[in-house]
Amino acid sequence: MIIYSPMDGDALTSPIPSNPRDCFLMTRLGKPVPRGINEIRRSITAVCNKANYKVIDASSRVTGRDFLLKIWRLIASTPLSVGICHEEIPPKTQANIYYELGIAQALGKESIIVKSPGAETPSDFVRTEHIEFDARFSTTFADYLESLVQQASHYELVADQLDRNPILALDYLKRAFLITGDEQLRNKAQQLLNEPGLNSRAKNSVELLAATF
Amino acid sequence: MATKKTSGNTKHDVVQVRNPRTGRYVKIDRSAGRIVDHKKSAGPYKNIPVARKR
């Protein structure tokens, strides 16, 4: 996939290291964090840890470089983005969360909104899946994480059908790999690269970058 | 393998897979290497084989 830098509009031509089985959490990070939001975060983390997902957020990595670009790269490196929607999140922070959800959707990531019963989502997110933070939250969210395995299997199956379109097939394999962490999917990508003509491309070509995961 | 003749007399190898997120079937033209259609209603397309994992 070609990712254009939000800073200068040029394509990113260096590989983004993959973080399979990581969940990028979008929430309020600046102190003080209201209790209700902390409670949602704790529940998300507990369910993710149980399902073998590691929760990371924008403060998990210190790069010393541009903050926005770091967020883009973190989203691109992970399979799943979870955004919290809560009435106590300040409007500016909530707008940032929606922006990041948009990035995740555009990059083909699994994305979901966890919302408190009192919070309202903007109309652009009406068709985005959301889970309400209520008494059944842990079960519902765990079911959602479980369903991602099937989605990964679907991505692999689609990739298998697209061998005449290697870039798309590689991208589907990458999406499946990020969810499962299955090394066999990396091998499949390498096999695709062995098709005539592909391996001789520049190391930062779209084809080889797509296979670097 | 199911093939379908187009107006250009080219044979196309078309399969379908079910997207678990939507529960709907997706038609893929393997010869052209592209996703050609998403089914709007429930159930599979008629006369199109369902692709299985290799």
DSSP helix, strand, coil percent of chain B (3-state; round to 5) = 0, 45, 55
What whole-number distance in Å separates Cα of residue B24 and Cα of residue B18? Answer: 6
Burial call A4-40: b when 16+ CB within 10 Å, e when fewer: eeeeeeeebeeebebbbbbbbbbbbeeeeeeebbeeb
What whole-number distance in Å separates Cα of residue A184 and Cα of residue A148? Answer: 18
Q: Please check the confidence at residue B5 and state whether its pLDDT lies above 80.
A: no
| Coil vs helix vs strand at A74 | helix
Task: Give chain A's mean pLDDT.
Answer: 93
Q: Strands B11-19 and B24-29, how do they pair?
A: antiparallel
| pLDDT tens for each residue of A73-107 | 999 999 999 999 999 999 999 999 999 999 999 99
C-alpha distances out from residue A72 to A5, A78, A146, A213, Å: 8, 10, 25, 16
What whole-number distance in Å separates Cα of residue A130 and Cα of residue A141? Answer: 10
| pLDDT tens for each residue of A17-28 | 999 999 999 999
For residue A198, what is the DSSP state? T
Chain A residues in contact with B11 (beta carbon < 8 A) = none
Chain A residue with minimal CA distance to B31? A164
Q: What is the mean pLDDT of residues A52-65?
A: 90
Which of B30, B48, B52 to mutate to probe the A interface, most A CBs <10 Å? B30
Which of A148, A157, A165, A171 to mutate to probe the B interface, most B CBs <10 Å? A157
| pLDDT tens for each residue of A154-202 | 999 999 999 889 999 999 999 999 999 999 999 999 988 887 777 678 8
Q: Enter the pTM of the model.
A: 0.90
- The Cβ-side half-sphere exposure at A140, using a 13 Å CA radius, reads 13
Distance from CA of A158 to the nearest CA of B (A): 7
The type of residue at B21 is R
What whole-number distance in Å separates Cα of residue A156 and Cα of residue A104? Answer: 20
What is the value of ipTM here, to two decimals?
0.84
Distance from CA of B27 to the nearest CA of A (A): 10
